[in-house]
Amino acid sequence: MNATNLPATSRMRRPRATQEPAWVRWTLIGLALAFLTLFLFVPLILVFYEALKKGADVYFAAIIEPDALSAIRLTLTVAAIAVPLNLIFGIAAAWAIAKFEFRGKSLLITLIDLPFSVSPVVSGLIYVLIFGLQGWLGPWLAEHDIQVIFAVSGIVLATVFVTVPFIARELIPLMQAQGTEEEEAAVALGANGWQTFSRVTLPNIKWGLLYGTILCNARAMGEFGAVSVVSGHIRGSTNTLPLHVEILYNEYNFAAAFAVASLLALLALVTLALKTVVESRITQHKENANEHRGA
Amino acid sequence: MSIEVRNLSKQFGTFAALRDVSLEVHSGELLALLGPSGSGKTTLLRVIAGLDVADAGQVLFQGEDATDQHVRERQVGFVFQHYALFRNMTIFENVAFGLRVRPKNVRPPDAEIRDRVHDLLKLVQLDWLAERYPHQLSGGQRQRIALARALAVEPKVLLLDEPFGALDAKVRKELRSWLRRLHDDMHITSVFVTHDQEEALEVADRVVVMNGGRIEQVGTPDEVYENPASPFVYEFLGNVNLFHSRLHRGRAWIDGIEVDAPEHAEAEELAATAYVRPHDIEVDRVAKDEAALAARVTHVLSVGPIVRLELIREDSKDKNPIQVEISKERFRELQLVRGDQVFIKPRRFDLFPNQIH
């Protein structure tokens, strides 16, 4: 059969029945692009522009300055504690919720969502009310010479609280969709609990887990509100990167503020890149899984 | 190995999945648990496997109490309806799993595992798929791999939960007879769950018909088909015609035809229903005696060796169509066409008094 024998209309570009006219499409695309440019791209470029406006020397000086280095160190420390804690909690909670039936399950799901629905400032205040000098545990803590508020431990607590949902939320729907049959099959074949988890459950959720961890990490490093309330802004001691940016900005030290802020912006970009990679792997994984289910 | 369950009961919330179920599975037999969805058949299978725990009752393997034994220790092979293959492992690793997770002192060496897995893959005729992943296989192939995986640990009993339920009709038929042959070769005590009566009757040595968490009847396929113990079994296994009847002191009136019913000698003016299989109805052009019902042919399906007729009774209030099956020869003798009047008479029937609700 020769292509020229085909009726002419079939080769002409005809709008499909479900397609909007061109001007509608381009207006919508244009609007979305304008919005993104105004609210995302311009600010992002501006951060780097302001940071480097006074030259690379000023930029690097602002970053290797002792207080800035201390803030970087603290931010990394906090993330290094908060992320693994939530990793363990997230897996445990998702495992329990997705694979077992128990009383109070919906309450647990609601509790996991709580940090999302509460303003971070309020979460910080809760810790002040509990651990602060005038708080419930304040006198007892003071007696035993333990400082939580205005100290690193308070910052870690606040960060852990704020980042609780990220990993669990990512894993619960994934694990629920996968069901319990593979685990049952493993146990019936003689696997113990750890073998079942490490050989069957964990490999099945690894991409979702990585995705949740990336988001959790980004939030742990970028958290401002809750940390701001409990930290006390002590330079070189309880200042995290976001707090350091605020202090520099309030001191009209714009170049330094933007230099440090650019580190956070970089973190965001790296996170975004990682997220994209992982997301594509998840889609692939899901497609396999769907194929796997339907037969 | 024989399996015995005694007085099993299991409740899911307010839903009673099993009510006082007792059953014996003989060593080496292939037993089908047959019933509609919600009849408790899958729950019974899962309780035998140890994947579910009954609220009351006992499970015994070879006469020994296994009620409190963990699934891991029961040494059962379980095959899931949706295969439950490990999606992150190759087919080879799927089959090898049961051997790999054994404690070090009883784990066979790698070379032996490799040989064993390949033997099993050959047994299910899928040796060439060893390095593939489950999602690359067809449904029928996956189910055979699931079976090989279950057999790898040399289970004492094989439990299959609707093993062919997710497959299309043709593959289903093939796998069905393949499973039967496999069982004939291996003689491993096997229990499989199905809602497909044809599947149960064709494959199993014995069939357990379940309904509403209870066992309605246990018997060979022939027994349950030819002598159903209850109206439910009658209706669940094959087609059946219902006739309004009345029982009185050893006599029965089936839609007006008087017959002997010696097993109901004590009945006093009891409303009942007669169950008659389509091939147990005699059809004639003329009424040979008074004990025949006049009916009119409304439909004729004469494809194949059996001719199916649909009739409507003429002088009865009951206007439900009656299904009749006659042989091709008989059909040729009668030369029936749509609209003809015929006289019918139940040749074999069972009478069940109506349940009083």
Contacts of A149 (CB under 8 A, 6+ apart): A127, A128, A131, A132, A133, A135, A230, A232
Cα distances (angstroms) measured from residue A243 to each of A155, A162, A239: 11, 16, 6
Nearest to B86 among A182, A187, A291 (CB): A182
Give A-chain residues touching B98 at CB under 8 angstroms. 189-190
**C-alpha A273 chain-centroid distance:** 13
Shortest CA gap B173–chain A (Å): 16
SS3 state at B293: strand
| Spatial separation of the C-alpha atoms in residues A160 and A150, rounded to whole Å | 16
* Nearest one of B35, B75, B336 to B161, comparing CA atoms: B35
| Count of other CB atoms within 10 angstroms of residue B229 | 17
SS3 state at A36: helix
| Residue B237 DSSP class | S
* H-run or E-run covering B60: strand B56-61
For residue B182 the two structure tokens come to 């496999």
For residue A220 the two structure tokens come to 């742990």
Please state the length of chain A: 295
A189, A196, A284, A285, best to mutate vs chain B, most B CBs in 10 Å: A189
Pairwise CB contact (< 8 Å): B101 & A195: yes
SS3 state at B112: helix
Locate the chain B residue with the closest alpha carbon to A290: B135
Locate the chain B residue with the closest alpha carbon to A195: B101
* Nearest one of A146, A162, A136 to A229, comparing CA atoms: A162
pLDDT tens track for B146-202: 999 999 988 989 999 998 887 888 888 888 888 888 888 888 999 999 998 888 998
Cα distances (angstroms) measured from residue A200 to each of A184, A191, B101: 10, 10, 12
Are the CB atoms for B285 and B274 separated by under 8 Å? no
B76 contacts chain A (CB < 8 A): yes
Phi-psi region of B57 (alpha: psi -120 to 50; beta: other; left: phi over 0): left
* Nearest one of B332, B352, B217, B225 to B278, comparing CA atoms: B225
| Spatial separation of the C-alpha atoms in residues B103 and A221, rounded to whole Å | 43
Are the CB atoms for B255 and B316 separated by under 8 Å? yes
pLDDT in tens, chain A (295 residues): 444 454 444 455 666 777 788 888 899 999 999 999 998 889 888 888 888 888 888 888 888 888 888 888 888 888 899 999 999 999 999 999 988 888 888 899 999 988 888 888 888 888 888 887 777 777 777 787 777 777 788 888 889 999 999 999 999 999 998 888 999 999 999 998 899 999 999 999 988 898 899 889 888 888 888 888 888 777 777 888 888 888 888 888 878 888 888 888 888 888 888 888 887 887 776 666 665 554 3
User: The tokens 């396999």 sit on which residue?
Assistant: A288
Pairwise CB contact (< 8 Å): B167 & A195: no
Nearest to A292 among B50, B134, B150 (CB): B134
Pairwise CB contact (< 8 Å): A184 & B133: no
What is this model's ipTM? 0.81
* Nearest one of A212, A199, A204 to A176, comparing CA atoms: A204
Pairwise CB contact (< 8 Å): B87 & A189: no
Model-level pTM? 0.78
For residue A185 the two structure tokens come to 């099959």
